[in-house]
Structure 1
Amino acid sequence: MNPELHISSLVVQHRHDAIARLEALIDATASMEIAARGDCRCVVLCETDNQRVLMDCIDELHAVDGVLTVSLIYHHAESREEMDKPIGQDRLPQSGLPQGADP
């Protein structure tokens, strides 16, 4: 079985006084980081080995006192082998640039 990498973004809505508790949880969890923050919401990036760990992260965020909602906004899963391959011209999407033009 090929190990996978799951990359997800979550929007967490919370009361203003919950940010310190959220930061403490996220700082203590290697698979999560705050990518953007607002007054009462933040975007959390989560990189895990499988979907069960992702669901555990969502449950942990929900359990923080003052968290109102946790919404999964983006989720991508791919084999680590595929993710580790270098990006070459053959893997880039067609850009529509004229032939010979530098991207």
Structure 2
Amino acid sequence: MNGECHISSLVVHSRPDQVQSILEGIRSVQGAEVHGGADTGKLIVTLETDTESQVVERINAIQLLDGVLAATLVFHHFEPAQERE
């Protein structure tokens, strides 16, 4: 581990008829958690990762899910991991 903790939030706009499959896809992405929005198709997602490159990789993975119209980074914060303990 590099000693960092990255926390990011996204809004994922999805096709309303594909929300359930998109939810399953997002839940399969390591460190991703859905916090709401399934009723509107605008999903609120957080990511917890060890590196900035993992943030980018996981946003790209979500963006490539079938039915995702856009995955937009709203917030990104990082700090040394020991500060969280």
TM-score, with normalisation over the residues of structure 1? 0.74
The equivalent of 2:18 in structure 1 is 18
| Residue 2 of structure 1: how far off its partner (Å) | 4.8
Q: Which has more strand, going by share of residues?
A: 2
CA distance in 1, matches of 2:2, 2:66: 37
2:2, 2:50 within 8 Å by CA — same for their partners in 1? no
SS in 2 for 1:30: coil
Cα RMSD, aligned residues only: 1.5
Moved over 2 A (4+): none
One-letter code of the match for 2:73? L
| CA distance 1:2–1:63, change in 2 (3 Å) | closer
Q: Is 1:83 the counterpart of 2:84 in the alignment?
A: yes
Structure 1: gaps spanning 5 or more residues: 85-103
| Residue 47 of structure 1: how far off its partner (Å) | 0.4
CA distance in 2, matches of 1:19, 1:75: 24
The equivalent of 2:8 in structure 1 is 8
Q: Name the % identity.
A: 33
TM-score, with normalisation over the residues of structure 2? 0.88
